[in-house]
Copies of this chain bind each other. A is one copy, B any other.
Amino acid sequence: MTPNFKIDHANCADCPIRHRAVCAHCEVDELEELEGIKYYRSFEAGQTIIWSGDQMNFVGSVVSGIASLTQTMEDGRTQMVGLLLPSDFVGRPGRDSAPYDVLATTDLVMCCFRKKPFEELMNKTPHIAHRLLQMTLDELDAAREWMLVLGRKTAREKIASLLSIIARRDASVGPKTSTEPIVFDLPLTREAMADYLGLTLETVSRQISALKKDKVIELEGKRHVTIPDMGRLMDEAGDDSDGGFLV
């Protein structure tokens, strides 16, 4: 895990990049330049932030809420290819157009920088390029981890894998011992889960019911989840020992 490559809004309500603990090498003049080009955007759940193929004239990061990267085939089949949680980076320095739709899965706030100035700053300050490389390698690891999920796991294992990822992300700011129950609200509809896992929403629903019946998870309402034993969930996900997730 390399949490310091993520932009951490938790400790930094204003601007992500100016946060010293995350970006220790930042010089004051860089910060001021970034300050000048940053702005915030809000989106409602279900809104499309960027359409596949569109020009993308900004980069940024998720402040709150959840966004997803989604590919759609002509006949309507869709596959989510990335899940963007708070602190995740959005954008493709050096690229003009988006290769997939970016959707606000929940209400969402993003912190954006106009791409041109950001890229100029990046060219001037090598360590920003270096950090972006590390972040991109993290994303690549996460994408490849997910290829194993999509290609080889059963529906039950897929659900367990997704719950693991969300639980771990939450757990990174919550309890650290594995015996302690983990509690969170599912930020995705059953349909969004299905799109991420390459399943139908009916199968998602059935497998969640099965995991509940088998006491791997507890459900209160449709979204509020308790994981009494994280190790048990990881076993169900079929990951070796501690996994090593990076999403």
Q: Please report A residues at the B interface, Cβ cutoff 8 Å.
A: 69, 71, 73-75, 77-79, 81-82, 92-95, 99-100, 123, 126, 129-130, 132-134, 136-137, 139-141, 143-148, 150-152, 197-198, 238, 240, 244
Contacts and interface: CB of A to CB of B under 8 A. Distances in A.
B146 A93 contact: no
A144 B144 contact: no
Given A99-B244, A126-B126, A198-B152, A71 B144 contact: yes
A226 B75 CA distance: 28
A94 B137 contact: yes
Given A147-B150, A150-B198, A133 B78 contact: no
A198 B144 contact: no
A144 B82 contact: yes
Report copies per complex.
2
Nearest to A132: B133
Contact of A79 (B71, B77, B81, B148): B148
B147 A74 contact: no
A129 B133 contact: yes
A77 to B, nearest CB: 4
B79 A151 contact: yes
A151 B150 contact: yes
B139 A94 contact: no
Contacts of A132: 133
Contacts of A93: 133
Contacts of A126: 123, 126, 129
A123 B136 CA distance: 17
A55 to B, nearest CB: 16
A93 to B, nearest CB: 7
Contacts of A151: 79, 150, 197-198
A69 B145 CA distance: 11
